[in-house]
Structure 1
Amino acid sequence: MKTLWLACFTCGILGLGGCAGTPVDRYQAEQPVLDLARYFNGTIDGWGMFQDRSGEVIKRFHVVIDAKWEKRDGVDVGMLDENFAWSDGTTSRRVWTITRVGASRYVGRADDVVGEAQGEAAGNALRWRYVLALPVDGRVWNVDFDDWMYLIDDKVMLNRSAMRKFGIHLGDVTLSFTRR
C-alpha cells in the first residue's frame, strides 16, 4: 500500500511540474525585443490553422488586423480590429482593446473574451492567456487559450496557441503574422 501511495504521490508531483511550463522571462535576452505598440501598429496579415488534439487540420484562415495605439491618461492603449476569413467560407471579427499596465504586462478585452486577458512580454516573446467564448454546434464553450507569440524580425511574428477545456487539451492554433 505504501508503494502505491508513493507512486501516486510522485506521479502527481511530476504532473503538476509539467503544468508550470516555460516562464516568459526565459526569453528576456532574445532579440529583437517585442514592443506590442510598435509591432501591432498599422495593418498586419496573418495566416493560420486550427488542429485538433490528434493533429488533424480542421480549419484554415486569413486574418487582417488594423491596429493603432494611443496614449490615454499617460497609458498606452491599443485597438486591434481582427477580420477573419475562414476556409469554410465564413467570416468573423474580434476587436481587442489592449492596455499596457506595466513595463512588460498587458491586459485585454474583446466581446467574445470572458473577463480579461492577461499578457506578459520579455525579450522577443509574449505570453497571452484568456478564456474565449467559442461557438461550437449551436452552443458556446468557454475555452482556455494560452498564446505564445515570438517576434522573428520587424515584419514577422509567429504565434502558437494551446486550447483547453477543463484542463483537457482540445487542439492548437498556429499563426504567422506579417506587417505590411
Structure 2
Amino acid sequence: METLYPLVLGVLVIFALMAMKSRFIGFATQKPEDLADRGPAFDLRQHLSGPILCEGVIYGPTGRVTSRFVADMVGEWNGNTGVLRERFRYDSGDVQDRCWTLRLGNDGRIVATAPDVVGEGAGVAAGPAVQMTYRIKLDEKAGGHVLNVTDWMYLMENGTIMNRSQFRKFGITVAELVATMRKVEA
C-alpha cells in the first residue's frame, strides 16, 4: 500500500500540470484582444465574401497527418448576416458539405450556426484575427462524437487567411487543422 501512494500522487501531479498548461499556456489561452492592433482589420463581410479556395491538413492526436483536403467556399452577405457554403474534398475521396450562417454584432461579436454544430458557435473579430468556439458533431463514419472546437483565423498582409483549429474531447486535443484560404478571382 505504501508503494502505491507515490504512484497515485505522481499521477495526480501530472494531471494537475496538464490542466494548468492547457489553462495558462498555449493555443487555447490566446485572446482576440491580444491581436487587436497588430495588423489589417479582418472584416468577415469583405474577406469571407465570394469564391474562396481552402487547402488544409488535419493532424490526429499524436501529431501525425490523418487527412488532407481542398475546399471550395462561397461567401454571400446581406448586411451583417452571411452564408458561407463549403465543399470539402478529402484525400480519401470523401466529400463533405457544410453551410454556415454568420451573424455579426456591431461590437465584433459573431454568432455562427451550421447543421453539424451543436447549438450556436460564438466568436469575436479583433484586428487581423477571428476566434470562434463551437461544438461540432462528427459524421457517424467518424464515430459521431461531439468535439469542442477552438478556431482561429489570421488575416495576412496579402489577403490570405491562415486557419488553425483544435478539436478537443474531455479537454484532450484529439485533432488539429491547419489551412489557408485565398480568394479566387472571378
Instruction: Tell me whether the two structures share a fold, i.e. TM-score over 0.5.
Output: yes
**Greater per-residue strand proportion:** 1
Normalised to the residue count of structure 2, the TM-score between the two structures is 0.84
| AA aligned opposite 2:94 | T
Extract unaligned runs of 5+ from structure 2: 1-8
Give the secondary-structure state (helix, strand or coil) at the position aligned to 2:24: helix
Deviant stretches of 4+, over 4 Å: 10-13
Deviation at 1:140, TM superposition (A): 0.8
CA separation of 1:45 and 1:17: change in aligned 2, threshold 3 A: same
Question: Which position in structure 2 is the counterpart of 1:62?
Answer: 70
The amino acid of 2:107's aligned partner reads A
Paired position in structure 2 for 1:157: 161
Cα 1:30–1:91 change in 2 (3 A) is same
Alignment partner of 2:120 out of 102, 116, 134: 116
Correspondences of 1:45-60 after superposition (within 5 Å): 45-60=53-68
TM-score calculated relative to the size of structure 1: 0.87
Are 1:17 and 2:24 counterparts? yes
Percent of residue pairs bearing the same amino acid type: 29
Deviation readout 1:71-109 (Å, 9 max, x if unpaired): 2xxxx0000000111100110100000001232100010
Identify the residue that residue 98 of structure 2 maps to in structure 1. 94
SS in 2 for 1:140: coil
Q: State how many pairs are aligned.
A: 172
2:159 is aligned with 1:146: no
Q: How does 1:130-141 map to 2 (within 5 A)?
A: 130-135=134-139, 137=141, 139-141=143-145
